C-alpha cells in the first residue's frame, strides 16, 4: 500500500510506452453509494490512479465545475469520515491506487496522526493538500511518512526555477504540474511556454511529472503527454460523470495509450 503502490502503478504504464491517466472525481457527487462503482468503472477504463476530492466549504484551487460538484456532495451529507468508510469497505476489491485531494482544515480537525491512520485503514495511498506550502508541511510529513502515505506536491508555472527544483526534489509518488495560472476547469488551449515548463520540471524531478488543470480532451492528453509522463483530468471527468457520458470518459482515459494509439483519428 501507500507510496509503493503509486510507484508501481506509474512504472507499469510508463514501461509499456503509455502515459499515466489520473481522473479526479468528487466523492459524494451523485451519492456516496455510487462511489465504489465510480472508482471501479474508472479502474476498468484504464485509470492509472484515481484522485478523489473531498467536498469542502471553502476550496481555493477548484474552479466552477468542481465547486458545484462539491456543493452537491455536501448537500447529500458527504463527510470525510463517510468517504473513508466507503473506501475501507471496498478496499479488498480495489486495485487502483487512491489519492485524496483535500484541504488542511479537514485533516487538522481530526488530528494529523489519527487522520493518517484512518487513511491507511481505508487504503488511501497518497494525499494532495493544495493549501499546505513547503514551509509548513512539517505539520503533516512525519505522520504521513510513518504510515507510508505519499505527499504529492504541486508545482506552478509562475514559480521561480529554484522553487520548482525544491518542490520536485521533495514530492512523492509524482509531481503535480499545474499548467494554468488559475483554478481548475476545462480549457480549449494552453498558454505558450507550457512545453518548456514541463520539460524543466522533468529535468528537476526523479518522480513522474503529471500535468493537470484544464485538460479536457484527447488532444490535450496527447499534446501534454509529449512533454511529461501523463495527465490529471478533473473538471471534464466530473462533468461527464454528472451527465452520464461513460463512453466519453472511456475514450478520454484510453487516449493516454501512446503505445497503441498513435493518432487522434485512431480513437
**Catalytic residue set:** 51, 62
- Assign residue 158 a region: left if phi > 0, alpha if psi is -120 to 50, beta otherwise? alpha
Listed in sequence order, the residues at least 6 apart from 265 whose beta carbon sits closer than 8 Å to its beta carbon are none
Is 99 within 8 Å of 127 (Cβ atoms)? yes
Is 151 within 8 Å of 141 (Cβ atoms)? yes
The DSSP bridge pattern shows strands 98-101 and 126-128 to be parallel
How many Å apart are CA 220 and CA 175, to the nearest integer? 18
Residue 32, classed as helix, strand or coil, is: helix
How many Å apart are CA 232 and CA 214, to the nearest integer? 9
Is 150 within 8 Å of 97 (Cβ atoms)? no
Residue owning grid cell 509522463: 229
> Which residue from 39, 147, 149 is spatially nearest to 96, judged by alpha carbons?
39
- Taking each helix axis from N to C end, the angle separating 194-204 and 161-170, rounded to the nearest 10 degrees, works out to 50
Q: Which helix (H) or strand (E) segment is 155 a member of?
A: strand 154-155
Residue 26, classed as helix, strand or coil, is: strand
Amino acid at each position: 500500500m501507500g507510496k509503493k503502490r503509486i510507484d508501481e502503478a506509474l512504472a507499469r504504464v510508463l514501461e509499456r510506452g503509455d502515459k499515466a491517466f489520473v481522473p479526479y472525481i468528487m466523492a459524494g457527487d451523485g451519492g456516496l453509494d455510487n462511489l465504489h462503482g465510480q472508482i471501479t468503472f474508472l479502474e476498468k477504463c484504464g485509470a492509472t490512479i484515481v484522485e478523489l476530492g473531498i467536498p469542502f466549504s471553502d476550496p481555493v484551487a477548484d474552479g466552477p465545475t468542481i465547486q458545484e460538484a462539491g456543493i452537491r456532495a455536501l448537500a447529500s451529507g458527504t463527510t470525510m469520515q463517510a468517504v473513508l468508510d466507503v473506501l475501507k469497505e471496498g478496499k479488498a476489491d480495489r486495485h487502483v491506487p487512491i489519492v485524496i485531494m483535500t484541504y488542511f482544515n479537514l485533516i487538522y480537525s481530526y488530528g494529523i496522526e489519527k487522520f493518517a491512520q484512518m487513511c491507511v485503514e481505508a487504503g488511501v495511498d497518497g494525499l494532495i493538500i493544495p493549501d499546505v506550502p513547503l514551509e509548513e508541511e512539517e505539520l503533516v510529513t512525519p505522520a504521513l511518512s510513518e504510515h507510508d502515505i505519499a505527499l504529492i506536491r504541486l508545482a506552478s508555472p509562475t514559480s521561480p526555477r529554484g522553487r520548482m527544483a525544491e518542490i520536485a526534489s521533495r514530492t512523492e509518488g509524482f509531481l503535480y504540474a499545474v499548467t494554468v495560472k488559475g483554478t481548475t476547469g476545462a480549457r480549449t488551449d494552453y498558454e505558450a511556454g507550457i512545453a518548456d515548463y514541463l520539460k524543466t520540471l522533468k529535468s528537476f524531478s526523479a518522480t513522474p511529472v503529471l500535468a493537470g488543470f484544464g485538460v479536457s480532451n484527447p488532444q490535450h492528453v496527447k499534446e501534454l503527454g509529449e512533454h511529461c509522463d501523463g495527465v490529471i483530468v478533473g473538471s471534464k471527468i466530473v462533468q461527464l460523470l454528472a451527465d452520464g457520458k461513460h463512453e466519453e470518459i472511456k475514450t478520454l482515459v484510453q487516449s493516454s495509450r501512446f503505445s497503441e494509439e498513435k493518432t487522434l483519428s485512431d480513437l
